């Protein structure tokens, strides 16, 4: 009889988004006239930049001509794309990353999970709480955790709480951890990290021989010139960090699929015999074996992000979402709510008023103003008492939702 990977049985059934859908559907059925506005989504809403679309159309034509046709591309991605990324996203910011340290992929979601392939099963792993659920669930699947307790915390993981009390930046752990997941600007809290905060992490990681997984999916939303976009802007990060980037949120590629992972050649970890092994070699081997590259068409689309028009268009796209975030911040504040994030990030993290739990606030918002957000507790126990509002939406939806909240939502609940 075939057997399964029993680790999958430890997974808490995808609870958050199905439960949101269940409550919204029940409400919609009971109130068929309600115009429900969904501000819970983590997906982009605006169309692909023209520059990317035109490049993809041209790429389709290339494939239609036998002299320019492309079959399998390099598993690591085309050199012309990797070089542009190295220059624009890293070297221009003083981060010494070379094109051959960049691996193109079809998503940061898969890469943040797949990266565990090249690490041992005995590492001590730290995640923030609240957290992007992919980091946790992929460790459960890989067998790196025990069972979940009733708060949804898995045995064996080190949870680093991030709340208003620590300004949404995790304290450096007292104990030794081997792998650390950091996400800045953060999903779900919208928090950012200063150079000093990242320096503390890099120093910790180097002193312990740990590896930082740095998820920079939202770096394009950084407007404050003092904030680092890449962990490699910090000295020593080439010796302790892997960075994940994506074209999903800056260029609207959530459905098109293109991302990248940076594995510096100077990064090593220990083999069972105690020798230091270059992680670049392992990731290169892993990708060459299990991955056959991102389509030529999509990589040409991603390349166009670095053209003059492309840069202007993605800037406009990001500014549009940031203006949404600004409207959300302003209106929620004037409705008497305490808000965080949403300045260098597309997420606004709201403190629930009057001691409501995240789910109580969810129900209240749905019932009184027909607006849907995401309960903070769904991202981890320390997210209880918070609520995520996404700026990924049309201007009209944001304005109507905020108008309803300022006009009809009372925080002085009976």
Ligand X SMILES: *Cc1c(COP(=O)(O)O)cnc(C)c1O
132 binds ligand X (CB under 6 A): yes
215 binds ligand X (CB under 6 A): yes
Residue 247 is assigned to a ligand binding site: yes
Q: How far is the CB of 177 from ligand X (least distance, A)?
A: 20
Is the Cβ of residue 218 or residue 409 nearer to ligand X in the bound state? 218
DSSP state of 255: T
128 binds ligand X (CB under 6 A): no
Helix ranges (H only) for 279-357 are 279-290, 296-303, 308-334
Helix ranges (H only) for 86-132 are 108-114
- Decide: 190 and 348 in contact? Cβ < 8 Å: yes
What is the H or E stretch that residue 202 is in?
helix 195-208
348 binds ligand X (CB under 6 A): no
DSSP state of 132: -
Is the alpha carbon torsion for 309, 184, 121, 157 positive or negative? negative
Is the Cβ of residue 112 or residue 284 nearer to ligand X in the bound state? 112
The contact mask relative to ligand X for 251-290 (x = CB under 6 A, - = no) is: ---x----x-------------------------------
The contact mask relative to ligand X for 233-252 (x = CB under 6 A, - = no) is: -------------x-xx---
Q: How far is the CB of 374 from ligand X (least distance, A)?
A: 12
**Which residue's CB atom is positioned nearest to ligand X?**
107
Is the Cβ of residue 127 or residue 337 nearer to ligand X in the bound state? 127
42 binds ligand X (CB under 6 A): yes
Is the Cβ of residue 176 or residue 290 nearer to ligand X in the bound state? 290
Site for ligand X in 88-117 (CB under 6 A): 107-109
- Cα 138 to chain centroid distance, Å, stands at 14
Residue 370 is assigned to a ligand binding site: no
Residue 22 is assigned to a ligand binding site: no
393 binds ligand X (CB under 6 A): no
List phi, psi (to 5°) of 108: -75, -25
Is the Cβ of residue 109 or residue 364 nearer to ligand X in the bound state? 109
Q: How far is the CB of 176 from ligand X (least distance, A)?
A: 25
Residue 23 is assigned to a ligand binding site: no
- Decide: 24 and 366 in contact? Cβ < 8 Å: yes
List of residues 6+ apart from 336 with CB closer than 8 A: 353, 411
Strand pairing class (179-183; 211-215): parallel
What is the H or E stretch that residue 58 is in?
helix 50-63
Q: How many other C-beta atoms are found inside a 10 Å radius of the C-beta of residue 401?
A: 26
Site for ligand X in 186-205 (CB under 6 A): 187
Query: Whose CA is closest to 173, among 155, 161, 164?
Result: 161
Number of residues this chain uses to bind ligand X (CB under 6 A): 14
Torsion of CA 176, 111, 245, 306, to 10 degrees: 150
Residue 248 is assigned to a ligand binding site: yes
**Which of 37, 56, 85, 183 forms a contact with ligand X (CB under 6 A)?**
183
Strand pairing class (386-390; 347-351): antiparallel
Interaction site with ligand X (CB under 6 A): 42, 107-109, 132, 183, 187, 215, 217, 246, 248-249, 254, 259
Annotated binding site for substrate: 15, 42, 109, 132, 187, 292, 388
Annotated binding site: 15, 42, 72, 108-109, 132, 187, 218, 246-248, 257, 292, 388
């Amino acid at each position: 009889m075939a057997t399964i990977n029993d680790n999958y049985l430890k997974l808490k059934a995808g609870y958050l988004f199905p439960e949101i859908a269940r409550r919204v559907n029940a409400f919609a059925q009971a109130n068929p006239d309600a115009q429900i506005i969904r501000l819970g989504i983590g997906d982009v809403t605006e169309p692909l930049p023209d520059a990317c679309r035109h490049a993809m159309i041209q790429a389709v034509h290339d494939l239609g001509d036998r002299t320019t046709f492309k079959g399998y591309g390099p598993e690591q991605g085309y050199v012309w794309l990797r070089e542009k990324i190295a220059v624009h996203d890293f070297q221009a910011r003083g981060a010494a990353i070379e094109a051959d340290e960049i691996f193109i992929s079809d998503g940061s979601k898969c890469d943040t999970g797949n990266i565990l392939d090249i690490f041992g099963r005995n590492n001590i792993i730290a995640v923030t709480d609240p957290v992007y659920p992919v980091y946790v669930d992929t460790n459960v699947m890989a067998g790196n955790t025990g069972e979940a307790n009733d708060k949804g915390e898995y045995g064996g993981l080190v949870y680093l709480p991030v709340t208003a009390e620590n300004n949404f930046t995790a304290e450096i752990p007292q104990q030794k951890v081997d792998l650390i997941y950091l996400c800045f600007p953060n999903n779900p809290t919208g928090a950012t990290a200063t150079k000093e905060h990242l320096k503390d992490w890099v120093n910790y990681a180097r002193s312990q021989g740990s590896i930082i997984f740095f998820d920079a999916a939202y770096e394009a939303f950084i407007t404050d010139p003092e904030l680092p976009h890449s962990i490699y802007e910090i000295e020593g990060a080439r010796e302790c960090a892997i960075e994940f980037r994506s074209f999903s949120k800056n260029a609207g590629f959530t459905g098109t699929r293109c991302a990248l992972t940076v594995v510096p050649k100077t990064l090593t970890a220990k083999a069972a015999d105690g020798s230091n092994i270059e992680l670049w070699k392992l990731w290169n081997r892993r990708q060459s074996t299990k991955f056959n590259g991102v389509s030529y068409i999509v990589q040409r689309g991603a390349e166009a992000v670095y053209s003059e028009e492309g840069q202007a268009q993605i800037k406009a796209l990001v500014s549009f979402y940031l203006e949404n975030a600004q409207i959300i911040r302003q209106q929620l504040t004037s409705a008497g709510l305490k808000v965080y994030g949403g300045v260098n990030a597309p997420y606004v993290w709201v403190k629930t008023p009057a001691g409501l739990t995240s789910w109580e606030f969810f129900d209240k918002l749905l019932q009184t103003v027909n607006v849907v957000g995401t309960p903070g507790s769904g991202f981890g126990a320390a997210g209880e008492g918070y609520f995520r509002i996404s700026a990924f939406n049309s201007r009209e939806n944001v304005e109507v939702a905020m108008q309803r909240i300022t006009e009809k939502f009372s925080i002085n609940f009976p």
